[in-house]
Structure 1
Amino acid sequence: MNSAADKSHAHDHHHETPKSLVAAVEHASEERGLRLTPLRREVMELVAAAGKPVKAYDLLDHLREKHGNAAPPTVYRALDFLLENGFIHKLESINAFVSCHHPAEAHQVPFLICDVCSSAQEVCDPHVAELIEAQAKAFGFRPQAQTLEVHGICKQCRRS
């Protein structure tokens, strides 16, 4: 029996390392002719290494450790580039960023966000996005962006 959990498990990308995610972003940037500047790459590395949603000012603090003069617009410009090109996702409800585990493909994915440990899991099931698109079409609505965030408690925190 194919359940949604089975499909999600088949697409679980948490085994990827921050280094492999950054390498995938570098590859996708080259293929698309995008300029992944050293600062953009460094912000991508920080987001990937965080392992959970990270806020812009936390990224700024890390950058200031290396580059004392880093300013908020610097971080936001790098985040905007990464967002626009699908290399990271913004979790609107908690105003934080996570790396995308599929940087080579454009997609919209729902997230499961734990309210205890702040972990965020991409739900990698194309049927979810297709269902939302179909419902929007049925209402005569043309979506331009899609952010679906489900809050709750993850398996690890429920066990604790």
Structure 2
Amino acid sequence: MTIQLDATPKAPHAEHDHSICVAEALARAELCCGESGARLTPLRRRVLEVLADSHVPLGAYELVERLGASGEKTPPMSVYRALDFLVGEGLAHRVESRNAYIACGREHAADDVVVFLICDDCGLTTELASHAMGRDLAWAARSAGFSPRASVVEIPGLCAPCAEHRRGPAAGKDR
């Protein structure tokens, strides 16, 4: 089976401007909530901002700490409710293997499979989507009489900078 991914991953690098990620996530959230009639409360907005500012999945208590660092005293249950909202609206994803959350980087078709490439060393998580894999998995699930709740694949490994770091500077000189 050939797996086609619908987008080229955009892994951040040293010069990466997180403010662009935050602005795009907030614009998408405003549009999504405007269309659905859902309310993007100040806390939901702040939680999404913090998630979009990080390309590493964050746990609820990490979010509480980051919000607290900016002077916001937010109870963990409020953060969990905000996360439930963001996931429910398709604005964030839960990364099961990390018991953490990450801002959603793109729109997904109903039968897309969300693919997370998760770096073992730095935690960088890149989101991709595969329509072809989603179609094939939906067919296989239907054939088995199964109704999946979600289609997510998490692939651990090494991002390019971490792989290069492990090889060491001498490895690059041999080329």
Pair 1:90-2:94 in alignment: yes
The answer to whether the Cα contact below 8 Å between 1:25 and 1:103 also exists between their aligned partners in 2 is no
Query: What does residue 173 of structure 2 align with?
Result: none
> Structure 1, residues 79-112: CA drift from partner, whole Å, max 9, x if none?
0100111100010001111111125865541211
CA distance in 2, matches of 1:51, 1:73: 23
The answer to whether the Cα contact below 8 Å between 1:90 and 1:98 also exists between their aligned partners in 2 is yes
Following TM superposition, by how much is the alpha carbon of 1:3 offset from its aligned partner in structure 2, in angstroms?
7.8
Query: What does residue 110 of structure 1 align with?
Result: 115
Question: Where does structure 1 differ by over 3 angstroms across 4 or more consecutive aligned residues?
Answer: 2-5, 12-16, 66-69, 103-108
The answer to whether the Cα contact below 8 Å between 2:55 and 2:126 also exists between their aligned partners in 1 is no
Larger of the two Rg values belongs to structure: 2
CA distance in 1, matches of 2:69, 2:90: 27
Following TM superposition, by how much is the alpha carbon of 1:114 offset from its aligned partner in structure 2, in angstroms?
1.1
CA distance in 1, matches of 2:117, 2:108: 22
Query: What does residue 18 of structure 1 align with?
Result: 22
Structure 1: tracts of 5 or more residues without a match? none
Following TM superposition, by how much is the alpha carbon of 1:159 offset from its aligned partner in structure 2, in angstroms?
1.1
Bigger shift: residues 92-101 or 108-117: 108-117
Following TM superposition, by how much is the alpha carbon of 1:49 offset from its aligned partner in structure 2, in angstroms?
0.7
Letter in 2 for 1:159: E
CA distance in 1, matches of 2:94, 2:157: 18
Cα RMSD, aligned residues only:
2.3
Query: What does residue 168 of structure 2 align with?
Result: none
Following TM superposition, by how much is the alpha carbon of 1:124 offset from its aligned partner in structure 2, in angstroms?
2.0
Query: What does residue 149 of structure 1 align with?
Result: 154
Letter in 1 for 2:28: A
The answer to whether the Cα contact below 8 Å between 1:47 and 1:98 also exists between their aligned partners in 2 is yes
Q: 1:71 to 1:103 in 2, by over 3 A?
A: farther
Pair 1:70-2:74 in alignment: yes
SS in 1 for 2:126: strand
Structure 2: tracts of 5 or more residues without a match? 13-19, 166-175
Pair 1:34-2:38 in alignment: yes
SS in 2 for 1:50: coil
> Structure 1, residues 50-72: CA drift from partner, whole Å, max 9, x if none?
12211111110122234453111
Query: What does residue 55 of structure 2 align with?
Result: 51
SS in 2 for 1:124: strand
CA distance in 1, matches of 2:109, 2:42: 23
Count, aligned residues? 156
